[in-house]
Structure 1
Amino acid sequence: MTVDNDHIYTFPDSYDGRAPFPLLVGFHACGNPIDQFINLTRGSAFETEYVRAVGRSSDSGGCWNYNNDIAKVLRTYDDLMNNYCIDMDRVFATGHSSGAQMIVQILAHRSDAEHMNFKAVAPVAASDYGALQVPMPVMYIQGTNDTVRGGDGASTVARFRTANMCQMSSTPYSEVMGCQSSGKTVNPGCVSYSGCSEPTIWCSHDDPAYSNTSHGVPCFAIQAMYDFFTNMP
C-alpha cells in the first residue's frame, strides 16, 4: 500500500489480517528514495515474513529532521497498530545514515521510544545524539573507515553500551558471515559486548561500498539484521 510522498506498507502473501506479523520499520538515508529499505530487503525473508513500513522525510533534500518528522513517524506507527494485524511486541527498526540518526534520536526521547516500543534496532552509520533513555537490543553497523562520518561510530556504540549496562569487554560475534562487495571479501568485524542487560552487537566492517566511502549498508547487513531480529526471544 502506497500513499504518495508519505509512506509505503508491504505485506507478505500469507498476510490475511488475522494472524499478527512482525513489523520492520525502515528509515531512508539523505538523498535516497523512500523505498530504499523495500529495495534492500527485496527477495529476503523480510519480504515474506514481515510487514515492512517505510516513510518519507519532510525535508526537500530527503534528510530526516527529528523536530519536523517525529509527529509523522508516530502517526504512521499508530496507523499500523490501529488498522493492521501487527505483533505489537515485535516491532523492529533499521535506517541508514540520516535514517539511522532518526532511530537514535527517537531512543534519546523517552516518551517517543516508549511509544514506538521497538523490540530491537539495527542502525547503519548513525551519529551520537546524547544519552539513550531506554535499554534497547541493538546491532549497530558502521564502516571502520566511514569517510562520511569521519569515524567508526564508537561514540554511538558507547551510548547503547551505557543504556544496556554493558561491560567494556567484548567477544567476536561469529554469527555474521562475510560477503563480497566491490571485488573485496568483506569482514563484518562484529563483536558482542559482555554483561549487557540487552544484546549489544557492534559490526565495524570494511565494506568500501557507497562510492568507496564505507558509509553504505554493507553486503552482509540485511541477512544479519534478519537473523538478529528473528532470534529475539
Structure 2
Amino acid sequence: MEIRKLLFVWTLVFLPAMGPWKDCEGATACTLQDRSYHVKLPDDWDGETPLPMLLHFHGWGRQGDLIVKHRRISGATRRRGVLLVAPNGNGRSWDFWGGRSDDVEFAAAVIENVAAHYPIDRKQIYVSGYSYGAAMAWRYACENGNAVAALLAVSGSLRQDEACPQAPREVRHVHGFADNVMGFPMGPGGDETYPVALWRQQFGCGPGQEESAWGAVDFLTFDRRVWTDCVEGHKVTLDLHPGGHFIPHGWIGWQLDQLMGRVPHYP
C-alpha cells in the first residue's frame, strides 16, 4: 500500500481516540492503532510557536520511553525548542534490512498524528537514530526522506549499495573506528569516507573536504569531512572518532544548532 494511502487509514483510526495534547507525554505512550510512540516537549514552549521535530529511532532492545529521558537525546532537544518524537519498534527492534519496511509507514503515520496535535514546522523535520535505530533512520530517509530536512545517524547505517527512491536534504553521520557492534564500514583500500558513500553518490557530490577537528566536550574529538558541492543543494557531513559504539556527548545538540542556524553549544 502506498504510504500516503496508509497514512489516511492510520489517521482515521487514531484521531477520534486521541484526547487532549497532554494525555500522552514523556513516559506515557501515545497509542496509534496497535502500536505506540512517545513525545517530549521542549522547555518553555509557548504552546503556539511551530515546533521543529526530531523523530528518533531507539536502539535494539529499547523503547521510546528511554529516548524521551535520555540526556544525550532529549537533553539536547528540550533545550533547543525541538519536539522529540520516539516511536516504539515491534519486538523492541526495527525492520530495516530490506526495502518497503512497514516501520517506514508506521513512522510516517506517527509524524502525521503528532502534527494533528502540535504545530509542526514542516521545514524542520529531522530524523535520527542510534545503532539499529540509526539503520532504521537511514531506511526511513531512503524510502520516505523527501520531506526530511536532515538525517542524523549515530553508529549505524544501511549497505552502501542500496538504491534509495527518496532522500533527505542533508545527511549527518557519526561513527567510531572502534565500534564492535555496528562495525565501522571501511571502504575499499581503507576509504574512511565510505560510511556515507550511498548519499554522496546519490547526491552527485564532488571530492569533499576536511574541516577542523571539533568536540562538544574536551574528552572526545571528531574529525569532520563535508561534501557541499552536491546537486540541488544537498550536503553530507561525516564525523569520525576513535571510540566505540555510543551516542557521543553533545553530538545531537551540536547538529541541531548548526542546522537551525544557531551557534553550537553544550549541553
Scaled to the shorter chain, the TM-score interval is 0.7 to 0.9
Question: Which shows bigger deviation, 96-105 or 126-135?
Answer: 126-135
| CA radius of gyration, larger in | 2
Deviation by residue 1:183-232 (Cα, 9 ceiling, x = unmatched)? xx32211121242232211001123xxxxxx1111124123222232229
1:100 maps to: 134
**Aligned residues with identical type, % of pairs:** 20
Report SS of the residue matched to 1:107.
helix
Shift, 1:30, TM fit: 0.4
- Which residue of structure 1 aligns with residue 205 of structure 2? 166
Across the two proteins, how many residue pairs are aligned to each other?
Answer: 215
Match of 1:138 in 2: 171
Distance 1:50 1:131 in 2: 31
SS in structure 1 at match of 2:135 = helix
Q: Would the aligned equivalents of 2:29 and 2:65 in 1 still touch at CA under 8 Å?
A: no
Looking at structure 2, the residues matched to 32 and 87 of structure 1 have their Cα atoms a distance apart, in angstroms, of: 28
Distance 1:138 1:231, change over 3 A: farther
Q: Which amino acid aligns with 1:34?
A: G
The structure 2 residue matched to 1:30, chosen from 60, 65, 71, is 60
What secondary structure, in the 3-state scheme, does the structure 2 residue paired with 1:187 have? strand
In 2: Cα distance, 1:18 partner to 1:204 partner: 38
Q: CA 1:48–1:139 in structure 2 vs 1: closer, same or farther (change >3 Å)?
A: closer
Matches within 5 A, 1:107-122: 107-109=141-143, 112-114=144-146, 117-122=147-152
Offset at residue 104 of structure 1 (A): 1.1
* 1:12 to 1:224, Cα distance in 2 relative to 1, 3 A: closer
Whether 1:218 aligns to 2:248 is yes
1:110-143: per-residue Cα shift (whole Å, max 9, x none)? xx223xx111121112222413333531111111
Q: Is the 8 A contact 1:107 1:113 kept in 2?
A: yes
Distance change >3 Å, CA 41–CA 107, structure 1 → 2: closer
Moved over 6 A (4+): none
* Residue aligning to 1:51: 83
When the two chains are superposed, the root-mean-square deviation of aligned CA atoms in Å is 2.4
Tell me the amino acid that sits aligned with residue 195 of structure 1: D
The match for 1:205 among 241, 255, 264 is 241
Contact 2:127 2:137 in 1 (8 A): yes
1:167 and 1:189 mapped to 2: Cα distance?
A: 19
Residue type at the aligned position of 1:54: A
Is the Cα contact below 8 Å between 1:188 and 1:220 reproduced in 2? no
Unpaired runs of at least 5, structure 2: 1-24, 187-192, 263-267
Map Cα deviations across residues 130-189 of structure 1 (whole Å, 9 max, x no partner): 133335311111112222223246444001212222112312154x42535xxxx32211
Q: C-alpha distance in 1, partners of 2:88/2:134? A: 14
